[in-house]
């Protein structure tokens, strides 16, 4: 999942009210007296959040592959593993 600019801003300021055009950090409209957050801070936080998300997805995939290997080690064939996984 791609972390967008709005998600990033809300991670920095949960009370922020903004409008973002085209998920472009240079096209943010700060509404309802929301304090402006510098673009470099937004982009740094976005990178941090994206890295966390990517690591989470990689960890889930690693656990899935580990589980598949363990099922196969127990003697299940490819079709039986797929049936368990609902694939």
Cα first-last separation, the chain? 21
The pTM (predicted TM-score) of the whole model is 0.79
Question: For residue 43, what pLDDT is reported?
Answer: 98
- State the residue range of the domain holding 78: 5-85
Structurally, the chain folds into a number of domains equal to 1
Per-residue model confidence as pLDDT tens digits over 29-84? 999 999 999 999 999 999 999 999 999 999 999 999 999 999 999 999 999 998 98
Residue labelled with tokens 């890295």: 51
Tokens describing residue 45: 């936080």
At 38, list the tokens.
């510098």
């Amino acid at each position: 999942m791609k972390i967008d600019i709005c998600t990033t801003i809300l991670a920095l300021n949960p009370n922020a009210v903004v409008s973002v055009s085209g998920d472009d950090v240079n096209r943010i409209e700060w509404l309802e007296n929301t304090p402006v957050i510098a673009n470099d801070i937004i982009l740094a936080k976005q990178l941090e959040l994206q890295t966390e998300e990517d690591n989470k997805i990689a960890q889930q995939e690693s656990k899935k592959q580990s589980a598949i290997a363990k099922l196969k080690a127990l003697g299940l064939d490819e079709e039986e593993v797929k049936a368990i996984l609902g694939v």
